[in-house]
Amino acid sequence: MYDAVSDAYCYLGTTVLKNRASIRTQAELDYFEEQATAQRFSEPLPRGKLDSHADMPRQGDRDGRGNLSQRALADFTLWFLQVSLDQVRFMAQLLALDTLAQRLRGYVERSATLKPEAARLLEEALIRGELERGEAPRITGLPERTARRVVNDAIAHGLLASETPKGPLSLRFPGEALDVLFPRLFPET
């Protein structure tokens, strides 16, 4: 479930993300997504020259050992990997992760309530994945009490979160920050 209180990406008065099926309860949306995903996985790959080519019988004595063509299977595998790599490149371009640290810093700078040292915490969480709460004074260069306030402010903004009240912190992306943090993924309309 999405943990937003009030978000433009959610239906009014709910924490359910807006969706093409116009489903407004989380349980129904979860079920719908599960069914849609299962249906997609059961569909065959698009028909084309390579999918039927992969099931071709052997083409001579030097084309694999079984009944099917090893060369055709290799061609299909190469095509499939190229499509996958193309999708990875496309998403990498949309997410632009190489400049995410800069965008996090910019988000903190534009915030009226976050201290500039919060950017260091966010960047550290981005690089390491998780950080212990006790490391905040070292990372920010602030006294312990002030560093704790910076951590709490970042948590209040939804930029850091933890599974438990004293557990390690990890980076989060609140709905109101998505258009700033991922501008190519959420272009202005």
Q: In which band, very low, low, confident or very high, does the pLDDT at 77 lie, cut at 50, 70 and 90? A: confident
pLDDT at position 34, please? 86
Q: Is 153 helix (H, G, I), strand (E, B) or coil?
A: helix
List CB contacts of 107: < 8 A, sequence separation 6 or more.
159, 177, 180, 181
How many angstroms from the chain centroid is the CA of residue 23? 22
pLDDT at position 4, please? 47
- Name the β-bridge partners of 10: 17
Q: Is 67 helix (H, G, I), strand (E, B) or coil?
A: coil
Residue 10 phi, psi dihedral angles, 5° rounding: -110, 155
Instruction: Note the pLDDT tens digit of each residue in 18-51.
Output: 887 788 888 888 888 888 888 776 766 666 655 5
The closest alpha carbon to 123, from 179, 169, 178, belongs to 169
Burial classification of residue 72, based on how many CB atoms lie within 10 Å of its CB (0-12 exposed, 13-18 middle, 19 or more buried): buried
pLDDT at 70 over 80: no
Neighbour tally for 146: CB within 10 Å: 15
Q: Give, in degrees to the nearest 5, the angle at Cα 47 between 42 and 52.
A: 100
Cβ atoms 133, 139 nearer than 8 A: no
- Name the β-bridge partners of 169: 131
Instruction: Note the pLDDT tens digit of each residue in 156-175.
Output: 999 999 988 889 999 999 88
48-71 average pLDDT score = 62
91 vs 71: CA distance, rounded Å: 30
Cβ atoms 126, 171 nearer than 8 A: yes
Instruction: Note the pLDDT tens digit of each residue in 101-144.
Output: 999 999 999 999 999 999 999 999 999 999 999 999 999 999 99
pLDDT at 54 over 60: no
Q: Which residue has the higher pLDDT, 65 or 118?
A: 118
Q: In which band, very low, low, confident or very high, does the pLDDT at 63 lie, cut at 50, 70 and 90? A: low
Letter for the amino acid at 108? Answer: V
